Amino acid sequence: MTEPVSLSALYRLMTFLSPGFPVGAFTYSHGLEQVVESGAVADASGLEAWLSDILRFGAGRSDAILLKETIRVARDGDASAVADLRELGLALQPSRERHLETSAQGTAFVTAIRNSWLPETGTPAGQLFHDHTADDDPWPYPVAVGLACAAHAIPSEAALAAYLQAFAANLVSAAIRTVPLGQSEGQSVLAALEPIIFEVAKEAAAADLADLGSSTFLADIASMAHETQYSRLFRS
């Protein structure tokens, strides 16, 4: 059954995943810059195919499962399970730059929530956020977002769709600057990805940690090759 989304929860979800939220997402391309440099992605259709695979079989799907699981256990106030997800989200990264991408964004996200959107302590998730986000250890981005969503009573279904859309939109923005693509072409790619995002969100909602896994080897290799790319705009 679909959980209703209050206007307050919708406002916060839109804010947390806005390009203007201070996590520095615009500085990461998830290895896409290297793929553009190699010529493997050179137009809108190539970008759409690349992002479709990332969403279905790569970090899009894995992040969505981590996000959903974090919301579930945080609602119960299970600090141990959140800590395990925090470690797992970092351990799953296939390269140094991808580790930086998720940990830098996740840690910045937690800091921004604490500074401006600190949740109330009247729920287990709210109390958990207060008690377990004051250290300096890194947070993987989907786990950080999941914890904040649970603490702010943002429904899992809405959070999944919004997170995946923001993930795809950031990579489309990177492609506009590197391929290059026009703004209209970028929007056409995002429009084409809509059913895929809903499909992945639905799959993640029904999955658990045993379903984690990816098979986007070329994207993983691209993130490794990007570490030594001579000229680059992005940190990953």
CA dist., res. 113 & res. 126, Å (int) = 12
Separation between Cα atoms, residue 232 and residue 29, nearest integer Å: 10
- Report pLDDT digits (tens) over 70-110: 999 999 999 999 999 999 999 999 999 999 999 999 999 99
For the chain, the domains span 41-228
Between CA 26 and CA 24 the distance in angstroms is 5
Checking if the pLDDT of 2 tops 80, the result is no
Domain at 41-228, CATH homologous superfamily: Urease accessory protein UreF (1.10.4190.10)
Task: For the chain, give the percent of residues with pLDDT over 70.
Answer: 100
pLDDT exceeding 90 applies to what percent of the chain? 92
Q: Confidence class of residue 173 from pLDDT cuts 50, 70 and 90?
A: very high
The helix-helix angle for 59-75 and 79-91 (nearest 10°) equals 170
Q: Which tokens go with 126?
A: 């709210």
